[in-house]
Amino acid sequence: MFPQLARFTDLGLLLLRLMVGLVFVNSGYSHLKDPTARAKSIGMSKPFTIFLGAAEVAGALGVAFGVLTQLAAFGLILIMFGAIQKKIFAWHTGFWGERASGWHYDLIFIVMNLVIAFTNGGAYVLIR
């Protein structure tokens, strides 16, 4: 319908990458800021919570800056699959959840990261 918008594809992918990066840096930082309390709240060990936080921050920075973008996106997808598994099987959270905490949110980030991985992040990346 609007073929002229195709020229903004790379800008759209950059904005998508920046949003994904922002969300995952924030999430990873919350794991690293107080890993003991965060580990308790998510039902994981402290060392795993630190690993998870570091992986989220590393993946977020890779996606946002376009450094090994596909690998970073696939890493974040694995993290989201883990979150969905925890929500469904351990916490018994439904798709929509209560107070918007369902696994629909995690599924959206899987799809966002798939778009990033399939396009290699677009033209505005630092290292392919």
More reliable by pLDDT, 74 or 1 = 74
At 72, the pLDDT band (50, 70, 90 cuts) reads: very high
Q: Could you tell me the maximum CA-CA distance found in the chain, to the nearest angstrom?
A: 52
Instruction: Report which of residues 98 and 14 the model is more confident about.
Output: 14
Residue of 59, 21, 52, 58 whose CA lies nearest to 35: 52
Say if residue 99's pLDDT is above 90: no
Instruction: For residue range 30-58, list pLDDT tens digits in order.
Output: 999 999 999 999 999 999 999 999 999 99
Per-residue pLDDT, averaged over 71-100, amounts to 93
Round the average pLDDT of the chain to a whole number and report it: 96
Position 98 confidence tier, pLDDT thresholds 50, 70, 90: confident
Kindly report, residue by residue over 9-33, the tens digit of the pLDDT.
999 999 999 999 999 999 999 999 9
Rounded to a whole number of angstroms, the distance between the first and last alpha carbons of the chain is 31
pTM of the shown model: 0.94
Domain extents in the chain: 9-119
Residue 34: left (phi > 0), alpha (psi -120 to 50), or beta? beta
